[in-house]
Amino acid sequence: MINKPALCFFIAFTYLSGHAFGQTATDDSTMQKIAIGHVVDGYNTSIGQMSRLYNGPEYEFYDPLIKGNACFLDINAFKTGSVNYDGIYYANVPMMYDINKDLVVTLLYNGFSKYSLLNSRIQSFDLHSHHFVYVAADSTNVASSISSGLYEQVYVGNLQVLVKWTKSIQSISTQTTLETFFTEAKKHYYLKKGSNYYSIGGQGAFLNVLKDKKKELQQYIKANKIKFNDNPEKAMYLIAARYDQL
């Protein structure tokens, strides 16, 4: 049985979520999320292990002999983030992002048991000032070149710019030892136009997807001295935003 404080939190959350999540995103959406987050935090405190956030599998750590770590930005520690999970917004969640396994790792309510969230139930999450979304690939759409998983959302409008962060485990043999280590993080870029996702290897590929306004975009790039190779995320953000303005 849920006690009265928990019931109050639940009623408040139900009311707020019905008003906030049904609306188109606006400048007020962040304040709405924060307000809802406070309600959900209190609700989770009241119900403990009954929270819908606590339903992922136990997280298995790597062999400590592997050099380096699997974490986003090499931050191998729990930091406060937020997540939209099963349609509910949770604030102040201790999180790590394992980009080798593509898993968001967090702690159970007891503060020390580690588990991973289920990717398919994540709508989005924020960690280290980066915003991520879950993309469910359409296996019937042969024009798309993206796999299901978690992607950093660099830009969203009529277009969408996404970055997939990855690491892998490699081994090097010597005459006496076998050294195993995590590689440096790699980034893979994608552009969504319409219902299709396109893999982007450089400025040329990016503009080819936007060929209906390619001339105008080339003029914009030249006028603003945009250097794609220096900062691909910034360049794609600016070009995509300009495309949506034309």
Query: pLDDT for 122-142, tens place per residue?
Result: 999 999 999 999 999 886 666
Q: Under a CB-based contact definition with an 8 Å cutoff, are residues 166 and 188 in contact?
A: yes
Q: CB neighbours of 19 closer than 8 A, spacing ≥ 6?
A: 32
Is pTM beyond 0.85 here? no
What value does the mean pLDDT take over residues 67-82? 96
Q: Residue 54 and residue 83: Cα distance in Å, rounded?
A: 13
Q: What is the mean pLDDT of the chain?
A: 84
Q: Residue 103 and residue 100: Cα distance in Å, rounded?
A: 8
Residue written as tokens 């070009």? Answer: 239
Q: Residue 136 and residue 124: Cα distance in Å, rounded?
A: 12
Q: Residue 2 and residue 76: Cα distance in Å, rounded?
A: 36
